[in-house]
Amino acid sequence: MTDAMNLTPAPPPSGPPLIKDSSTAEFITDVVEASKEVPVIVDLWAPWCGPCKTLSPIIEKVITDAQGAVRLVKINVDDNQELAAQLRVQSIPAVYAFKGGEPVDGFVGALPESQIKDFVKKIVGDLGPSPAEDLVQEAVVVYKSGDLGAAIGIFAMALKSEPGNVGAIAGLAECYIAGGDLDLATQTLALVSPEHASDPVILAAHAELTLRQQSAETGGDGKSSAEVTDLEAAVQANPKDQQIRYDLASAYVADGRREDAVEALLDMIAMDRKWDDDAARKQLVTLFDAFGPTDELTQSGRRRLSSLLFS
């Protein structure tokens, strides 16, 4: 593994610059001819255009992260009105992609980074991970090794490199949760933009935070084997008491017994699915979010839950 604290920037690519300003006189050379060697994205903008100010830095970042696979040419339409007319630009920001000397795609208006990445990928193929994504992957490995401090540092580097990166936000929050700083985890998750709020890694971090907060409210982050055994005995003695069953499921969660927790909650739903305003079902959904959509227990548990709810 690369030592994150000794990372050095990659050398700039040789040849023409990745991002440059151009004009009507230079358009054929900078765009048409250049696109015969490498795809060129053209960003048509104006100083007075608010959406242009939002879009331009995002495009520049995506182009920079592509590390030479595509270039960006910026055209100020106020200074190049003849060219804008030739390109039939009716509103800005307007973006065109040139490849092989011809325009091949385009869009109008400001788009989020994820859609701009998709646009560029259609032109040049898979861009591979960005520098921030590389850091996130490294931080995950460090986190799994148990070195929370180092993982926090690398996730923070990734977030500085790409503010809003969902992997970095979720990973940083997970580190704080693991370290017991639930307030800082909450503040970190608040950095997520609305468009990424439903990303699986964000949902998983939120769910894990919820479970830890629940555990803290009931007296700690874990239960002793004796306490779990006592609750199991209480369920045996009072099998119809849903609150005891719910407490046992929570104890299983705190003790890391995932399968037992899911089983206990499913048993509750089978007995009385509406108990305490669907508390068991809601807790199951939280667990599934924490486990992640591809987890075998999530998949099997969701199938069993659907069977109970729609039988």
- Domain boundaries 4-124, CATH class: alpha beta
Establish whether domains 4-124 and 225-310 are of one fold: no
Return the pLDDT at 223: 58
- Please tell me the distance from the alpha carbon of residue 23 to that of residue 139, in angstroms, as a whole number: 43
The two three-digit tokens of residue 7, written as one number: 């990372």
Packing angle between helix 166-178 and helix 148-161, nearest 10 degrees? 160
pLDDT level of residue 16 (50, 70, 90 thresholds) = low
Q: Which of the residue ranges 1-15, 37-51, 64-78 would you say has the lowest mean pLDDT?
A: 1-15
What residues contact 241, with CB distance under 8 A and at least 6 apart? 234, 235
Residue 11 has a pLDDT of 38
Looking at domain 225-310, which of 3.40.50.300, 1.20.210.10, 1.25.40.10, 3.30.565.10 is its CATH number?
Answer: 1.25.40.10
What are the tokens at 109? 């208006």
Give residue limits of the domains in the chain.
Answer: 4-124, 131-216, 225-310
Supply the residues annotated as catalytic.
Answer: 49, 52
pLDDT at residue 9 greater than cutoff 60 = no
Domain 131-216: which topology?
1.25.40
**Residue 259 vs residue 225, higher pLDDT:** 259
Each residue of 184-193: pLDDT tens digit? 999 999 999 8
- For 303, counting Cβ atoms within 10 Å of its Cβ (0-12 exposed, 13-18 middle, 19+ buried), the class is exposed
Under DSSP, is residue 147 helix (H, G, I), strand (E, B) or coil?
A: coil
Report the alpha-carbon distance of residue 92 to residue 2 in Å, rounded: 43
What are the strands, taking DSSP E only, across the chain? 19-21, 40-45, 71-76, 94-99, 102-108
The pLDDT tens digits of the residues spanning 221-255 come to 555 677 899 999 999 999 999 999 999 999 998 88
pLDDT at residue 219 in the model: 61
pLDDT digits (tens, 9 = 90+) for 96-133: 999 999 999 999 998 888 889 889 989 887 666 778 88
Is 42 buried (19+), middle (13-18) or exposed (0-12) by CB count in 10 A? buried
Rg of the chain, C-alpha, whole Å: 26
Q: Which of 163, 161, 164, 187 is nearest to 175 (CA)?
A: 187
The overall average pLDDT reported for the chain is 88
Please say if the pLDDT value at position 7 is more than 50: no
Bridge-based pairing state of the strands 40-45 and 71-76:
parallel
